[in-house]
């Protein structure tokens, strides 16, 4: 069996975006894309040159096939995707009145992905990976999804696969109380935790990056995303702030966190110093928000290197 | 309370159609319309000059508001529509590879409309109508929807409101056995029944229009739709075939049956002879299939009269 | 006869906007919307929970029907709309090179609405309203429109219906001299006057909000719109400035004045203090400019309350 | 002064077509083209290698400039086009429910072109042409347009410029009685007359091509268009039927008559036998209906020759 | 190394199609797809459940990446694709005036794919396949492409991989004389040859399917495509006609031949009788022309079985 | 022969722009425009009221005809355009992730325009002009193009036609070394040179506007474009800075330099003082960047005058 650098799983949905920036009620035309935190991270890592596997349970319908083909087209291993006739592929609609006024409407209740269950896991597949990437969205989808997450963690633990955990709190899916309880259980098992500052506050009840990081435990690598300001990391006695990159124009903020995760994991896979891995996360996040779409802007290795050398935004339109 | 000619209720969904005639999997752009048999009939009757009320349970979301505004804009009374926060408005996608190769994909399970329940009925509203229009879709949506249909029938019976029943069998929603049982129960209460020939066969197990009609009972007006050939009617000893209209170009077959129902009911409301009401049904159906969309082509009274006088397709492009 | 909170009337046109931000000459695709100051106000008030009637004379053509259905769909009473075969529905084109460089091209000369005449008024309809809303556009359309405005005012006066007047000076329709003469005649009859600062200057020849307000007369409530700075009001000895709301991103400035009027009238209908009504006007205006389109962004009561409680722009994209 | 083969003039309007085949009322997107019988003929002739001048009075607005640039871009001499600030450029909307169910809605009353007046004519420009092409649309637009037509005819007569007249009856613009009177006056002055069969019937009251042709007078070349069947011509004792070309698929019937005129005039300019000129007319008409748009499908000389040699529809998709 | 059922290679280009059916000159909007005979066959086979490898030389540009991701997304093995900085990815434009009047415009001269050379071949990759699929397009692209084809044939021969050859004559790329010489050289090495009737005539100078087949040699399986009539096959003394399937509506004729090849090869891979393999070819071809696009309509195994059981076009729109 | 104010020549290509701001790889829809520095200048001058001739060698294909018709439609003399069957019209694609992140992808190698050769020049045509406008793009296209440029210069010199030279360095087409050598040869012959500051630096190796200008020679008028800061000019002892205009919103930066050239040449043609000509160049450049597209925003004489009088951005949306 082929060894993969990273394995991740979770629900990717078809996303319908209004072509005009008007309320959905008045929008007449929509375009189709995909959206999913875990597949974003998988594609991001693949583009940086790593081998990645992603899987989900997909509806046996055109939307399930579309998601499958899109992710596979990007070079991600999708051999563990499962199709079901029991439920349709989840979809959602995005309403964007302005870049800072966005709402989403889900049709994901009882979706195919919510039927993911522990039996769908291929132990060997996970066991052969270097990292297992888990988000806090999956356990919010259904009881069987939650059980699947915990079984995957158990497999990873047994085979010494490192666990990266991105809380990704979605209060449309569960209450903060329920979320806190489950996510802290997962965090307890994780090796690396990547909360946003507000997520860290919600989970820990503390306010500063330092305090939040300490709350998760010193034996873990905790990296707290601070938006344009960059990120703070703490691992045992090692700690520090890594400044973010100035973004000349934020085109689309969605997907920045997933890009950050891809950058950080890429650094860890290559054993660069933590601060350097975080800097890479900052860079990927900064590049992603400069392009429309969740995955379209994820940089290749060359684009990332060019960006880190400061070349990207000095290049002239000399044609 | 205002008296209405016809009251009807049932699920209207937002319909997303691919702009290109390709499989949904490869379609990148979709446009938004509405689709619903009962609201089609309501709009058709309104356009012919009758007063109509339609209601449903709508999600408290942009799609629910869109449906509400669209139907109200057409002049239909929507004052009994109910909004719920419990479930989203149902939606569906249409895949059209060619005009004769169409598939639909529903996101209507547990939709807002499926929560309709007997308590949502306003007895006085139905009691004041001349006709109650019922389709076989509603009882297939949920138990509470089924109960709502039977309670509405009971109200109509109590107040001598005539019941028009269009079976509209949807085998994606229930099995033929279950459908047959429930629909025959409804048919037993109906005054007017409007099956298509294949529906009549499925329900009665008989083959000819005459036999099928007799199966439903002689005291009822049974009108069997025969597609381009027209329709057959039977009411007691009165019976006959009414030839259909030649359609120069079938642009979109969807909505023909609903247009037929609107035409027939319009005739009955004006007490024209049955054969004339059927002819009106044939005419509206023929006009509808010559225009894209379910409701866009429903004719006004003037357009119908013009068509019946044979003028419509002789009109030259003399500009 | 049903009692309405507000009655208004005037020309609503079909608006064609270029889909690309290029000069019209080079634009190849256009989308269809509606545009009309009075129907904007009507829809704004309806959405805030008030009952409103709007009417116009519409061409008996697809564009007239589109306008009628759109406004009726929003829940506004359109029972007094009149169709005519004498003239087509007015239309206009919008050229938008950039958000700050907009031009319009009218096809409204001799339009259906310009044929509105005093005989089209239903005295009882106006008599039963609490407010009559008049803009300075209608009297500029034609002699018969001007007469209709004055007859409506007369009816309102006779039945003690309060008159709200928004000058809406359109120098494409008449000269400033003619405009000043007629609009001052109307202002003389109005109870509430809502000019922009530049309009106030044009009409009064004075420069400060205070002087302009005084010019219209102390017995009237004069509210002068100051754009992002907010508004100034004066009513007898009562007067003051009400600060505007900061708008994070102005998406589309058109319709702000109509939203302001809707907010103010809503406050007056609920007898809140004048300063509070003005604040409501500021709020609706600020919300409207954050959404594309004239009416699409008009807030519901809930959205307005949320905005006034400062919640709107703090809500996170927690999905 | 440059000598032109043909001079023509008349109103060309901007045409807005719904992108979807739905009633205009429900169409949300429109695309911009141009439409005008005389400019169609001018472009058709230019493409066949002749030198042509076309002019009109255009509004000094983006739509006027668009028309001007489009026709000039095709290589037609537009040096006599006049801009006016008095009126806007005429526009119209096309509703296409199916290829055989088309309606148009005009905004051309009091348009810029309707202000064309005898003073706008450049005598020398017409005098130097070989043919003056006149349609029956122009005299229907306004009194001054009618006078312009008669003055142009007078100039042509004085300078022995041959007059080609295409009746193009538009009953939306005037009554049949008025049309008949004016068009027969023009016909009396024309050298070549190109009515459709139905137009011939309306003008002459006769039924057969032979009788209709005789009605116009034996000293004239009368060519009667018979649609797919071809055309009949009569000139003194010379007469005959010329069979039309089979069209594999009629994509858009509009513009066929103008293409026919271009083909015929092209033949006459090259002094081919009448029957051959008519055959050329049939060919251009047949080619035009195989392409969308009024002018887009007008063939070049090479395309026409290829078609006449029967090659066009045998060409394989050998790529 | 993984064993594949079929290996094929050749140029796939990005295809830009005009969104309106007008001449390219007047088309303003284009949509992006891919086009390539070999990748069509590869995707067709993959969808029928076989394992397939396809490769080409791609430009190191967005269009090269798009092609790569599309084909990989379909599940085809693309591991042997090569990127080059030497030349851009080939593209072409399709002009469609009507379904029967199509022209293409190439930008493929000196494209990346034309740089394919014998050194790009991976002997083991081909050696492990059961079939090598070759078209007559590749040798027409460049000298190095021609050499690559012959080297691939040599490898296949050495490893007893069966060679399927589809002549795909493209007279835009070379003269008939040159084509005939090279294609006959390839045919001489092929085990299975799949010409269209006209191609067979061009290559052999003979007229009947029987004679043409005999011309290629009795030891080969020759299958001659006869369009809607079906196909004729000959293999030694075995021969026969296999009737085509009636197609209710030809939506897009392009890709039929590639679908035919996929169907035939699929049958051969499963060792069905030749006539059955040909019938499968006919079926896939018939399905493909009922859907827009080259690959969009290629059926899955289930869709093919359903079609062969006659179910596909009897399925009702029972929703 | 008609005398023209300015003659210019060079490659104009068809430009395909993605309709969405996503990487080309993910863009599905493209719109067609034209792009070419010399035709931009020609159209800019024509719009300012001068007579201009532009020519190129165009492919005998739809894209060549489109370019020809577009430029001719603008009123530019295109009588010297030449069609060739030897090569296709050049095209290019624009990827715009954000207004400040633009890349282009060319299909212009061996294009029709690259075949321009000295024999294509009409000596009399150039001889009769007042100015010959040359850019540094043409000599980069091919050897024959380079020779054409030098022959044109020779003709101009012989007939005392002034030469305006805009370096327009395109490092995608040649190396900086080669560019420097050839462009300096051209500069040596030019009367007016219009480099951007960075271009001046590349060519001269100097840093300040003053030094760069002096490098080109005192007998020439050198104008150095400084972006938003304006421009510096030097002519003998005359020199100075001319401040640029504040641009409220940069919509599209492309085409600013060409607009600048048009403005400057217009001033020189009218013999205004140099500083005034430069100011005109600044103004046209500032107007152009406020509109999408290369030529769409080029101002007419009236628009330019209005802008120079400061009126443009004070005009209110008083409709």
Angle at E202 between CA E201 and CA E203, to 5 degrees: 90
| Residue C110 in contact with partner chain D when CB distance is under 8 A | yes
> Taking 80 as the threshold, does the pLDDT of residue B313 lie above it?
no
The per-residue pLDDT for range E122-137, each reduced to its tens digit, is 999 999 999 999 999 9
Per mean pLDDT, which range of A151-155, C292-296, E304-308, F67-71 is the poorest? C292-296
Cα atoms in the 13 Å half-sphere on the side-chain side of B108: 26
> What's the CA dihedral at A107, A108, A112, A115 to 10 degrees?
-150
Alpha carbons F216 and F194: distance in angstroms, whole number: 11
The per-residue pLDDT for range F123-169, each reduced to its tens digit, is 999 999 999 999 999 999 999 999 999 999 999 999 999 999 999 99
Phi then psi for residue E104, to 5 deg, are -125, 150
Query: With an 8 Å Cβ cutoff, are D107 and C88 in contact?
Result: yes
Please tell me the distance in Å from E170's CA to the nearest CA on chain F: 18
| Residue D74 in contact with partner chain F when CB distance is under 8 A | yes
User: Is the Cβ–Cβ distance between B179 and B138 less than 8 Å?
Assistant: no
Phi then psi for residue E132, to 5 deg, are -110, 125
| Residue C69 in contact with partner chain D when CB distance is under 8 A | yes
Query: With an 8 Å Cβ cutoff, are C100 and F248 in contact?
Result: yes
Residue E21 has a CB neighbour count (10 Å cut-off) of 19
Element (H, E) at C38: helix C37-47
Chain D residues close to E136, C-beta within 8 Å: none
Q: Which residue of chain C has the CA closest to D33?
A: C28
Interstrand relation of C6-9 and C13-18 (parallel, antiparallel or unpaired): unpaired
Q: Any idea how long chain A is?
A: 319
Q: Which two tokens stand for residue A182?
A: 């489950």
DSSP F170-218: -TTTS-HHHHHHHHHHHHHH-SEE--BHHHHHHHH---SHHHHHHHH-T
Nearest in space to D190 (alpha carbons), one of D230, D225, D226, D217: D217
Task: Please give the positions of D annotated as active site.
Answer: 258
Q: Which two tokens stand for residue E115?
A: 């740089």
**Domain of residue D287, residue span:** 4-318
> Taking 60 as the threshold, does the pLDDT of residue F317 lie above it?
no
| Residue A169 in contact with partner chain C when CB distance is under 8 A | yes
Alpha carbons F140 and B58: distance in angstroms, whole number: 65
Interstrand relation of A192-193 and C131-135 (parallel, antiparallel or unpaired): unpaired
- pLDDT for A1: 63
- pLDDT for E1: 62
Of F24, F29, F32, the CB nearest to E27: F32
List subunits contacting chain E, requiring 3 or more Cβ pairs under 8 Å. Answer: A, B, D, F
- pLDDT for F294: 87
| Chain C stretch 23-62, residues whose beta carbon is closer than 8 A to a beta carbon of chain D | 23-32, 61-62
User: Is the Cβ–Cβ distance between F43 and F298 less than 8 Å?
Assistant: yes
Task: Please give the positions of E annotated as active site.
Answer: 258
Mean pLDDT score, F248-276: 93
| Residue C240 in contact with partner chain D when CB distance is under 8 A | no
Nearest in space to D289 (alpha carbons), one of D105, D134, D99: D99
Residues 6+ away with beta carbon under 8 Å from B252: B99, B289, B291, B292, B293, B297
- pLDDT for E293: 85
Task: Estimate the crossing angle of helix F37-47 against helix F256-269, to 10 degrees.
Answer: 50
> What is the three-class DSSP state of E93?
strand
Band (E118; pLDDT cuts 50, 70, 90):
very high
Cα A248 to Cα B69, B233, F128, F227, F249, distances in angstroms? 42, 72, 49, 19, 16
DSSP chain B: ----SEEEE---EEEEEESSSS-GGG--EEEEEEE-HHHHHHHHHHHTT--EEEE-EEESSHHHHHHHHHHHHTT-B-TT-EEESSSPPPEEEEEEEETTEEEEEEE-TT-GGGG--GGG--HHHHHT-SEEEEESSHHHH-HHHHHHHHHHHHHHHHTT-EEEEE----TTTS-HHHHHHHHHHHHHH-SEE--BHHHHHHHH---SHHHHHHHH-TTSEEEEE-GGGEEEEEETTEEEEEEPPP-S--S--TTHHHHHHHHHHHHHHTT--HHHHHHHHHHHHHHHTTSSSSSTTPPPHHHHHHHHTT-TTT-----
Of C25, C101, C169, the CB nearest to F318: C169
Query: With an 8 Å Cβ cutoff, are D75 and F74 in contact?
Result: no
> What is the three-class DSSP state of C272?
coil
Chain mean pLDDT for chain C = 94
Query: With an 8 Å Cβ cutoff, are B32 and A32 in contact?
Result: no
| Residue E86 in contact with partner chain B when CB distance is under 8 A | no
Residues 6+ away with beta carbon under 8 Å from E5: E45, E50, E51, E52, E129, E130, E131, E269
- pLDDT for B1: 63
Of A290, A317, A319, the CB nearest to F97: A290
Of D24, D63, D109, the CB nearest to C62: D24
Task: Estimate the crossing angle of helix A256-269 against helix A274-288, to 10 degrees.
Answer: 150
Q: Any idea how long chain B is?
A: 319
User: Is the Cβ–Cβ distance between F139 and F108 less than 8 Å?
Assistant: no
Q: Any idea how long chain E is?
A: 319
List subunits contacting chain D, requiring 3 or more Cβ pairs under 8 Å. Answer: B, C, E, F
| Residue E172 in contact with partner chain F when CB distance is under 8 A | no
Q: Which two tokens stand for residue A296?
A: 């379209």
- In tens digits, chain A (319 residues) has pLDDT values of 678 999 999 999 999 999 888 899 999 999 999 999 999 999 999 999 999 999 999 999 999 999 999 999 999 999 999 999 999 999 999 998 877 788 999 999 999 999 999 999 999 999 999 999 999 999 999 999 999 999 999 999 999 999 999 999 999 999 999 999 999 999 999 999 999 999 999 999 999 999 999 999 989 999 999 998 999 999 999 999 999 998 877 878 888 999 999 999 999 999 999 999 999 999 999 999 988 888 999 999 999 999 998 744 443 434 4
Chain B residues close to D172, C-beta within 8 Å: 318-319
Cα C262 to Cα C37, C265, C290, F95, distances in angstroms? 11, 5, 16, 43
- pLDDT for E175: 95
> What is the three-class DSSP state of C282?
helix
> Taking 90 as the threshold, does the pLDDT of residue E278 lie above it?
yes
Structure letter (DSSP) for residue C196: B
Residue F238 has a CB neighbour count (10 Å cut-off) of 11
Query: With an 8 Å Cβ cutoff, are D97 and B292 in contact?
Result: yes
Q: Catalytic residue, from C258, C294, C305, C316: name it.
A: C258
Please tell me the distance in Å from A126's CA to the nearest CA on chain F: 31
Instruction: Tell me which residue has tokens 């609503």.
Output: C12
Chain E residues close to D319, C-beta within 8 Å: 104, 106, 170, 172
Q: Which residue of chain A has the CA closest to F169?
A: A318
| Residue E74 in contact with partner chain A when CB distance is under 8 A | yes
User: Is the Cβ–Cβ distance between D244 and D230 less than 8 Å?
Assistant: yes
Nearest in space to D169 (alpha carbons), one of D153, D183, D186: D183
The per-residue pLDDT for range A154-212, each reduced to its tens digit, is 999 999 999 999 999 999 999 999 999 999 999 999 999 999 999 999 999 999 999 99
Q: What are the helix (H) ranges across chain D?
A: 37-47, 62-73, 123-127, 143-158, 176-189, 197-204, 209-216, 256-269, 274-288, 301-308
Chain E residues close to D316, C-beta within 8 Å: 198
The per-residue pLDDT for range F19-40, each reduced to its tens digit, is 888 899 999 999 999 999 999 9
Alpha carbons A194 and B81: distance in angstroms, whole number: 46
Interstrand relation of E221-225 and F6-9 (parallel, antiparallel or unpaired): unpaired
Alpha carbons D290 and D267: distance in angstroms, whole number: 22
- pLDDT for C196: 97
Interstrand relation of F82-84 and D131-135 (parallel, antiparallel or unpaired): unpaired
Of A62, A69, A107, the CB nearest to B107: A107
Nearest in space to A262 (alpha carbons), one of A73, A71, A37: A37
> Taking 80 as the threshold, does the pLDDT of residue C249 lie above it?
no
Angle at F122 between CA F118 and CA F128, to 5 degrees: 130
Hey, of D73, D74, D297, which one would you mutate to test binding to chain F, going by the most F CBs within 10 A of its CB?
Answer: D73
What CATH number should be reported for the domain holding residue B83?
Answer: 3.40.1190.20
Q: Which residue of chain D has the CA closest to B298?
A: D23
Q: Which residues pair with E83 in a beta bridge?
A: E58
Please tell me the distance in Å from F250's CA to the nearest CA on chain C: 9
Instruction: Tell me which residue has tokens 């282009």.
Output: F104
Query: With an 8 Å Cβ cutoff, are F73 and D75 in contact?
Result: no
Task: Please give the positions of B annotated as active site.
Answer: 258
Query: With an 8 Å Cβ cutoff, are A73 and E75 in contact?
Result: no
Hey, of F51, F58, F73, F303, which one would you mutate to test binding to chain D, going by the most D CBs within 10 A of its CB?
Answer: F73
Q: Which two tokens stand for residue C226?
A: 């100051």
Chain mean pLDDT for chain E = 94
Of C248, C251, C316, the CB nearest to A21: C251
| Residue C230 in contact with partner chain D when CB distance is under 8 A | no
Strand (E) positions, chain A?
6-9, 13-18, 29-35, 52-55, 57-59, 82-84, 91-98, 101-107, 131-135, 162-166, 192-193, 221-225, 230-235, 238-243
Q: Which two tokens stand for residue C10?
A: 């005037």
Q: Which two tokens stand for residue F236?
A: 């003998």
- Supply the pTM of this predicted model: 0.94
- In tens digits, chain D (319 residues) has pLDDT values of 678 999 999 999 999 999 888 899 999 999 999 999 999 999 999 999 999 999 999 999 999 999 999 999 999 999 999 999 999 999 999 998 887 788 999 999 999 999 999 999 999 999 999 999 999 999 999 999 999 999 999 999 999 999 999 999 999 999 999 999 999 999 999 999 999 999 999 999 999 999 999 999 989 999 999 998 999 999 999 999 999 998 877 878 889 999 999 999 999 999 999 999 999 999 999 999 988 888 999 999 999 999 998 754 443 434 4
> Taking 50 as the threshold, does the pLDDT of residue C73 lie above it?
yes
Mean pLDDT score, C280-291: 94
Hey, of C19, C20, C29, which one would you mutate to test binding to chain D, going by the most D CBs within 10 A of its CB?
Answer: C29
Chain A residues close to F101, C-beta within 8 Å: 290-291, 313
Task: Give the count of domains, chain F.
Answer: 1
| Chain C stretch 126-155, residues whose beta carbon is closer than 8 A to a beta carbon of chain D | none
Residues 6+ away with beta carbon under 8 Å from E179: E136, E140, E169, E171, E202
> What is the three-class DSSP state of A35?
strand
Nearest in space to A13 (alpha carbons), one of A57, A53, A45: A57
Phi then psi for residue B278, to 5 deg, are -65, -40
| Chain A stretch 264-293, residues whose beta carbon is closer than 8 A to a beta carbon of chain F | 290-293
- pLDDT for C312: 44
Query: With an 8 Å Cβ cutoff, are B253 and E316 in contact?
Result: no
Of F23, F91, F106, the CB nearest to E62: F23
Q: Which two tokens stand for residue A281?
A: 């996360």
Please tell me the distance in Å from A317's CA to the nearest CA on chain F: 7
Alpha carbons E159 and E164: distance in angstroms, whole number: 15
Of B251, B293, B319, the CB nearest to D98: B251
Of B16, B25, B32, the CB nearest to A66: B25
Q: Which two tokens stand for residue F262?
A: 């048009």
> Taking 70 as the threshold, does the pLDDT of residue F311 lie above it?
no
- pLDDT for E101: 83
Chain B residues close to D98, C-beta within 8 Å: 248-249, 251, 290-291
């Amino acid at each position: 069996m082929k060894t993969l650098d990273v394995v991740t799983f979770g629900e990717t949905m078809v996303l319908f975006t209004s072509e005009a920036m008007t309320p959905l009620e008045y929008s007449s035309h929509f375009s189709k894309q995909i959206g999913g935190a875990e597949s974003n991270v998988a594609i991001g890592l693949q583009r940086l040159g790593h081998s990645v596997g992603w899987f989900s349970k997909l509806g046996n319908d055109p939307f399930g096939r579309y998601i499958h083909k899109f992710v596979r087209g990007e070079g991600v291993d999708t051999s563990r995707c499962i199709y079901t006739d029991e439920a349709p592929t989840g979809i959602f609609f995005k309403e964007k009145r302005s870049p800072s006024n966005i709402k989403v409407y889900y049709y994901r209740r009882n979706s195919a992905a919510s039927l993911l269950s522990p039996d769908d896991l291929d132990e060997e597949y996970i066991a052969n990976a270097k990292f297992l990437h888990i988000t806090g969205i999956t356990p919010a989808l259904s009881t069987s999804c939650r059980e699947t997450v915990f079984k995957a963690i158990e497999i990873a633990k047994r085979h010494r696969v490192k666990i990266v955990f991105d809380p990704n709190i979605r209060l449309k899916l569960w209450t903060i109380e329920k979320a806190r309880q489950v996510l802290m259980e997962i965090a307890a098992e994780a090796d690396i935790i990547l909360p946003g500052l507000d997520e860290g506050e919600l989970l820990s009840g503390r306010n500063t990056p330092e305090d939040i990081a300490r709350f998760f435990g010193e034996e873990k690598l905790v990296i707290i995303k601070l938006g344009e300001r960059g990120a703070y990391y703490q691992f045992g006695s090692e700690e520090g702030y890594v400044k973010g990159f100035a973004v000349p124009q934020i085109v689309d903020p969605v997907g920045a966190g997933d890009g950050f995760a891809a950058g950080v994991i890429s650094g860890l896979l290559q054993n660069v110093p933590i601060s350097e891995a975080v800097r890479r996360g900052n860079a990927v996040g900064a590049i992603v928000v400069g392009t429309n779409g969740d995955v379209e802007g994820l940089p290749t290795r060359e684009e990332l290197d060019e960006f880190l050398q400061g070349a990207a935004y000095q290049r002239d339109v000399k044609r």
